[in-house]
Amino acid sequence: MQNGVDRPFLLDPGKLLHAGQKYDWEGCVDIKPNDKLIFTAKWGKVWVVEKNMVLFGEIFVTVKNQEGELVCKPTITAAIKPGGY
Amino acid sequence: MVKISDLSIGQVIKSEFDGITRELLRAYAKASGDTNPIHTNDAIAEKAGLKGIIAHGLFSYGFITKLFEDFLEYGKYGKLIEIDVTMRAMVRCGDLLITEAKVNKIEGKRVYLDVIQTTITNVDIKDKDGNTVKQFEAGERGYISDKDIEQGLVKTKEVDEGILTYREREATPGTAIIELNE
């Protein structure tokens, strides 16, 4: 919500950049053919670099198979340039 | 065969890829599901202030994964535990993408590596009189910035046709951990 009005967080997908990626497979099982993968994600730290006003955000993802076993723990860092948020 | 006893601190594994094209990025977009048009449509990328399409971050990242999977022969000699990188600079069509991993610590069967991806972006080739013999996409679209020049990233070297101007830039620094079987 901005100035009392609901609006999308991402205003221009063209301003969205992939700024970092971590894949953590510690304690994870392999993905097998026909597995069903379930993704859950939650926001981590969100910050703005004042020098260029680029907005960064961390997204913590958990990927499990149909048995509930972890297959990967990715962390995504997204960046949105000015005008995109 | 790759064994822990064969590795040493400072050892480097490396790969190079010079086949980044619009066709390949379109195919990657289709395969990955990341259809953001800044990776496939120059007009939209220009509107977004990018001067032309850029490669998907995970497209470049895939070459880091491939470096380790090739090294470990797809699980035969060990497995990947973690890769963690920052995507600092854009990778574009025509770039030579160099992926390197340097061993910085070995603990038990685990190997800790520093990862870096570097791009070589050709700009143009000039003859000895300064006439442009060949211009590459980076020259045509103005990918090289004043900041690149200030930071000393723009270099020249002699090639058969004249003097090649190119930019050498670190695109993707980070770390990785692999675990060997023995």
User: What CATH code is carried by the domain that includes residue A44?
Assistant: 3.10.129.10
The answer to whether residue A40 sits within a structural domain is yes
Nearest-CA residue of chain B relative to A25? B81
Q: What is the pLDDT of residues A21-56, one digit of tens each?
A: 999 999 999 999 999 999 999 999 999 999 999 999
- pLDDT beyond 90 at A13: no
The answer to whether residue A1 sits within a structural domain is no
B4-180: CATH, from 3.40.1360.10, 3.50.50.60, 3.10.129.10, 3.10.20.30: 3.10.129.10
- Which residues in chain B touch residue A26, judged by CB atoms under 8 angstroms apart? 81-82
Mean pLDDT of B128-139: 96
Whether residue A51 contacts residue A36, with contact meaning beta carbons closer than 8 Å, is answered with: no
Q: What is the pLDDT of residues A61-82, one digit of tens each?
A: 999 999 999 999 999 999 999 9
In chain B, how long is the greatest CA-to-CA distance? Answer: 59
Whether residue B17 contacts residue B118, with contact meaning beta carbons closer than 8 Å, is answered with: no
Q: How many CB pairs under 8 A join A and B?
A: 55
Tokens 């004042």 belong to which residue? Answer: A50
The answer to whether residue A6 sits within a structural domain is no
What domain range is A57 assigned to?
A: 13-80
State the Cα–Cα distance between residues B5 and B1, nearest whole angstrom. 11
Count of domains for chain A: 1
Interface pTM, i.e. ipTM: 0.90
Length of chain B: 182
Number of neighbouring beta carbons within 10 Å of residue B116? 19
- pTM for this structure? 0.93
Predicted local confidence at residue A9, as pLDDT: 85
CB within 8 Å of B107: residues ≥ 6 apart: none
Q: Which of A18, A20, A24 sits opposite B82 (nearest CB)?
A: A24
Answer whether B37 sits within 8 Å of A19, measured CB to CB: no
Asked if B81 is an interface residue toward chain A (Cβ–Cβ < 8 A), one would say yes
Number of neighbouring beta carbons within 10 Å of residue A15? 20
Whether residue B152 contacts residue B115, with contact meaning beta carbons closer than 8 Å, is answered with: no
